[in-house]
Structure 1
């Protein structure tokens, strides 16, 4: 594994992290504590130390599975979670952004994670009006003073939202999370250069383009009815993306190289990117993701 400094936080994070949206049940599968524990054991053995989760991956469900899995070696992990949504049911959330409610969300997240602090607490992909909520960042600064938050971050919803990126240092946010992958390069125009200029750490989410860049799927692929990709993507969109993936695999991926590993390393070769946070369905896929760090040599 390789490690990079996460912007101005001083945190040394593995270049491959573990994304955990799948634990919330919106990707066509449910996870037990045993399933999650095996994933984090594989991650730890592979040198991964970064976990990304959120309050609304289930109703703190993902956080609960993480907490049960890493409580005995909490100090070995850098845990990033988020605030701003309340889970109602799969694919349905309410926005929760007033300072009092966000502080309650923090307490609920700490309880679920079985910890007394989070390493990175991130604004969760809301609009500019929510970002400017009166008293929000001041309330979070107070929680940081108490030691319940080590660092603040901004997960931007639109991967071209340069406003929130530029405003982040002013509110004490040191890290930007953004969708970035070989199929979606929009952050390269302004977001990523601004992050470099401001010394903001960058977590690249969806680095495998919702699994399309794994190379496993061909045009015409279908997903289970309870998989979020059915809610997001029409058949035409899916097939168009998968035809583009076939072209990339044919023209850009070296022969004999696993496409998913190549796609993760592709993101990391951008000097602005600190770490990628792919999801993983099981321990084997976790180890396979971790091996992508070898392609950086």
Structure 2
């Protein structure tokens, strides 16, 4: 396992993070005991960064059980305050801060997370949504700072609602936050243009999500792949005709096996190529895939020229929120 500094030399976090959305059933139902074992499997192999959220079903509760069964060093825990925007509102378009996070809600949500996780402190608490219009209000930041003063959280972060990476530039420069979480993958390398350099300059942790594009970049998708109604990905890959998506993925196979053993390894190597990426968050609730991802960290990195070729000629930015929430 490889590690990176998280704001402070006292905090070294694994460059591969356990994205815990899958623990809540977003990608299909799994036995709870299997999910607990999946967490322990990653912890045993050195993964020490776990990212969850109040909105991820019973993910925090399952993590709490896994942490109780874990006898090793305590991992770095990140969670997110659930937005109260009704339904899908607030993801595809801005809503007032008073609707998303009314006064007192951040504290209440944090207290629930602490109880579910079975811990006294959460290392990183993030807003699950963030819009720059909210900077005109100060009460939400004051609530987070007060929780920090009380020792209930250690760091403050934001998670961007979609691929509009530029909306975080002003708050990153302000020095008010410790971390930004956003979409970053082969198809969407836009954080490399502005947000990632800004985070590096201002020493703000950069957390990459959707590294595998909800699994699409692994090459698993076919014309006949179907998803249950409860699966988060049910409409995700049909933003365009599915064959078009498969064709774009297949173009990446030219780099296999010379630069990666498989497409998932290529996707992970691409995101971790930039040293300012603090951690790449990947769903690792299925051990066989988790083990492959962990093994990829010890492989040779992408040559700079290959990284640049992928960055320039394989970007294919799509905002799936256009169909999911509009």
TM-score by length of 2: 0.81
Query: Please, which of 66, 69, 81 is the counterpart of residue 69 of structure 1?
Result: 66
Contact 2:172–2:202 (CA under 8 A) maintained in structure 1: no
Contact 1:117–1:148 (CA under 8 A) maintained in structure 2: yes
Residue 10 of structure 1: CA displacement?
Answer: 4.5
Residue 274 of structure 1: CA displacement?
Answer: 1.4
After superposition, the C-alpha distances for 1:230-259 in whole angstroms (9 at most, x for unaligned) are: 233426354322211110122465277122
Quick check: 250-259 or 149-158, which moved more? 250-259
Matched, 1:97 2:101: yes
Q: Secondary structure at the match of 1:177?
A: strand
Residue 289 of structure 1: CA displacement?
Answer: 1.6
Equivalent residues in 2 for 1:52-91 (5 A)? 52-58=51-57, 61-71=58-68, 72-73=70-71, 75-86=73-84
Equivalent residues in 2 for 1:241-252 (5 A)? 241-251=245-255
Mark the CA change 1:243 to 1:164 in structure 2 (over 3 Å): closer, same or farther: same
| 1:28 corresponds to | 28
Q: Secondary structure at the match of 1:176?
A: strand
d(CA) in 2 for partners of 1:196 and 1:259?
27
Residue 158 of structure 1: CA displacement?
Answer: 3.1
Residue 26 of structure 1: CA displacement?
Answer: 2.4
| 2:145 corresponds to | 141
Equivalent residues in 2 for 1:1-297 (5 A)? 1-8=1-8, 10-32=10-32, 34-58=33-57, 61-71=58-68, 72-73=70-71, 75-86=73-84, 96-130=100-134, 132-168=136-172, 170=174, 172-234=176-238, 236-251=240-255, 254=258, 257-296=261-300
**CA root-mean-square deviation:** 2.6
Quick check: 93-102 or 132-141, which moved more? 93-102
Contact 2:163–2:183 (CA under 8 A) maintained in structure 1: yes
d(CA) in 2 for partners of 1:268 and 1:27?
24
After superposition, the C-alpha distances for 1:24-61 in whole angstroms (9 at most, x for unaligned) are: 222222441x1222111210121100100001011xx1
Residue 262 of structure 1: CA displacement?
Answer: 2.1
Quick check: 65-74 or 41-50, which moved more? 65-74
Q: Secondary structure at the match of 2:4?
A: strand
Residue 104 of structure 1: CA displacement?
Answer: 0.2
d(CA) in 2 for partners of 1:40 and 1:123?
24
d(CA) in 2 for partners of 1:83 and 1:18?
18
Unaligned runs of 5+ residues in structure 2 are: 92-98, 302-326
Residue 93 of structure 1: CA displacement?
Answer: 9.2
Task: From the two aligned structures, give the one with the greater helix fraction.
Answer: 1
Residue 287 of structure 1: CA displacement?
Answer: 1.6
